[in-house]
Chain A
Amino acid sequence: MKYASQRVAYWYFTCAMVLFGVQILAGVLAGTVYVLPNVLSELLPFNIIRMIHTNALIVWLLMGFFGCAYYLVPEEAERDIESPLLAYVQLGLLMFGALSAVAGYTLGVHEGREFLEQPLWIKVAIVVVALIFLYNVSMTVLKGRRTAVTSVLLLGLWGIALFWLFAFYAPANLSLDKLYWWYIVHLWVEGVWELVMASVLAFLMIKTTGVDREVVEKWLYSIVGLALFSGLLGTGHHYYWIGAPGYWQWVGSVFSALEIAPFFAMVIFAFRMVFKGRKDHPNRAAVLWSLGCTVGAFFGAGVWGFLHTLSFVNYYTHGTQLTAAHGHLAFFGAYVMLNLALITYAMPYLRGKAPYHQGLNILSFWLMTGAMTVMTFALTFAGVIQVHLQRVLGMPYMEVQDQIAPFYWLRLGSGVVVGISAILFLWSVFGPVRERKARPAKVAVQPAE
């Protein structure tokens, strides 16, 4: 840790991991209800469980992004965070809002648009959190060294806050509602979140491979360019069947098919940097998560997205388990793995130790990615069968669901394994570490720039 104020990142990561636990618990529970539908049906209905599963995911990923920003911005800007106190206030407010939301959901206190179920006061609190954060990080960047990493990161974070404002606009006309709802949902995960992802990845590459910053930053701009050129009009793949004009079938198909390009570029970028790099970073687990993240994002967001993005395919696959398969691997590969990569990288510095528990961390990597792969295939097979029975043959929905039940068992099993691997991961980063008389980590891995 070069700057004392980077310490705030430790608490962001800790809170994020608490919500990661909540997310996985709710996920396993939801997976259980799929196969044993009478479980909890009176006490905690499926819609509430799912709400907790998705909301906890989104909030912990954002919390992780905030932590990433607080960790890397001081090193990039070469100065301490403008106000660590504000950073803690921001975290406290966000965590309070998140836990209140979860508690409220179980009592039936929620709004009703998907992913935007937070009560109004929490939505407003999120704006306050965003304003504190943007002030804090922007001031740190503006008064310090400017780099491409921080420019792209800031643009992404400002974009997140800006598009969040559409959460307050809920037109009475359902089609209009959907048109602007995607301004948050799509422009986040297939737009500005990709800017955050690419810049954090670039930071990791600079630090772990020792490749020249000029090279990394040129890649960074190229990747985020590809992301926005394809992703903005790629929103059209959500506009096929909601009452929007027919031309979106062309615009959406063409541009969203190109959304695979930035993810492919990230794979090439990360592997080239690591192979080109002049040094072997002692934190092998962090390098593995970084590389894995690009591959996971490429398959989950890129390949699985492309599978059902062309309008004439989507006509049959829209809103089936194929969508669920894509959603799970895309969020995991792109954003969960990115956060776990930076956490794995940063924790030894934040705790003032040489990289530790590498074997356990690497084991959790393979277990978690393996289980998520099985889950994705289970849902994909379920989806293909569903498409044929329901969309082609016209068999009623519930009958089709009975036909694909074995795949839901497989999904539950893989979800349990994800839970186990998450425990291993948490132990590998937060678990006790015996003091060794080695050189302090700081000297061992000085970045080569």
Chain B
Amino acid sequence: MSERFTKSAARNVFYGGSIFFFVVFVGLTAQSHWHIVTASTDEATLSESVIRGKHVWEKNSCINCHSILGEGAYFAPEIGNVWIRYGGKDDPQAAREGLIAWMRSQPSGIEGRRQMPQFHLTDQELDDLVDFLEWTSRIDTQKWPPNDAG
């Protein structure tokens, strides 16, 4: 580095630049916040049961095996579009029953197959969780994932 670029110059560039980029970042975050609540997610159907379902998802730490919108543990299938995979768009009732039956039948106990624990969810919790998954499947994710496999 040349002598003209002194330590204090480097310091000023660091502090000035960092403040600038932080302000820009916070601004874009605010715009994104607004975009999320008004356009990309359906705030109107963010019901009590969807919120309770999110808590069921969190309380049982599902994210430490599954992923949701691609974030999580990658040990079990993507859940953001599981509603679509179960055909929820065409037959919501069958998808709901299918998902609930799946969770109730765990663990499969099959040798050599990854085991999902039995979480002993109540009927209410199972319904709420499915409501949350259904709501999540309608988020505008810029067309991710590329296909139903998630």
Contact = CB atoms under 8 A, between A and B. Distances in A.
Interface string A380-419: 0000000000111011111011000000000000000000
Nearest to B39: A245
A233 B112 contact: no
Given A228-B17, A245-B35, A391-B147, A398 B64 contact: no
Given A173-B46, A246-B142, A319 B25 contact: no
Given A112-B61, A221-B14, A248-B32, A394 B7 contact: no
B74 A319 contact: yes
Nearest to B13: A225
Nearest to A255: B21
Contacts of B114: 37, 46, 398, 401
Number of contact residues on B: which range applies?
35 or more
A235 B25 contact: yes
Contact of A396 (B5, B70, B142, B149): B149
A228 B7 CA distance: 18
Contacts of B141: 241-243
Given A173-B37, A174-B139, A41 B64 contact: no
Contacts, number: 205
B105 interface: no
Interface in B17-39: 17-18, 21-22, 24-25, 28-29, 31-33, 35-37
B70 A319 contact: yes
Interface string B108-121: 00011111010000
B67 A319 contact: yes
B61 A397 contact: no
Contacts of B113: 37, 398
Nearest to A114: B63
A246 B32 CA distance: 10
Interface string B125-150: 00000000001100111101111111
B93 interface: no
B51 interface: yes
Given A174-B54, A221-B7, A228 B29 contact: no
Contact of B58 (A113, A245, A247, A323): A113
A243 B36 contact: yes
A174 B41 contact: yes
A350 interface: no
Given A320-B74, A395-B149, A47 B40 contact: no
Contacts of B35: 244-245
B133 to A, nearest CB: 10
B149 A225 contact: no
Nearest to B72: A114
B74 A218 contact: no
Interface in A201-250: 214, 217-219, 221-222, 224-225, 228-229, 232-233, 235-236, 239-249
B88 interface: no
Interface stretch (A175-183, A358-366, A422-430): A175-183
A37 B63 CA distance: 18
> Among B10, B54, B55, which residue has the most Cβ atoms of chain A within 10 A?
B10
Contact of A240 (B17, B78, B144): B144
A233 B142 contact: no
Given A218-B7, A235-B25, A241-B70, A51 B64 contact: yes
A221 B74 contact: no
B139 A243 contact: yes
Chain A, interface SS category: helix
Interface residues of A, number: 69
A206 to B, nearest CB: 13
Given A113-B58, A218-B6, A41 B115 contact: yes
B114 to A, nearest CB: 4
A179 B73 contact: no
Contacts of A22: none
A319 B78 contact: yes
B10 A222 contact: yes
A38 B115 contact: yes
B32 A245 contact: yes
A271 interface: no
A391 B149 contact: yes
A377 interface: no
Interface of B: 1, 5-7, 10-11, 13-14, 17-18, 21-22, 24-25, 28-29, 31-33, 35-37, 40-41, 43, 46, 50-51, 54-55, 57-65, 67-78, 107, 111-115, 117, 135-136, 139-142, 144-150
Given A221-B14, A391-B147, 12 more contacts: A34-B75, A38-B115, A41-B107, A46-B73, A112-B58, A112-B61, A173-B41, A174-B135, A218-B10, A240-B142, A321-B74, A390-B149
Interface of A: 34, 37-38, 41-42, 45-48, 50-51, 110-114, 117, 148, 172-176, 178-179, 214, 217-219, 221-222, 224-225, 228-229, 232-233, 235-236, 239-249, 251, 315-316, 318-321, 323-324, 390-392, 394-398, 400-401
Closest 7 CB pairs of A and B: A112-B58, A319-B70, A47-B64, A221-B10, A241-B144, A41-B115, A225-B14
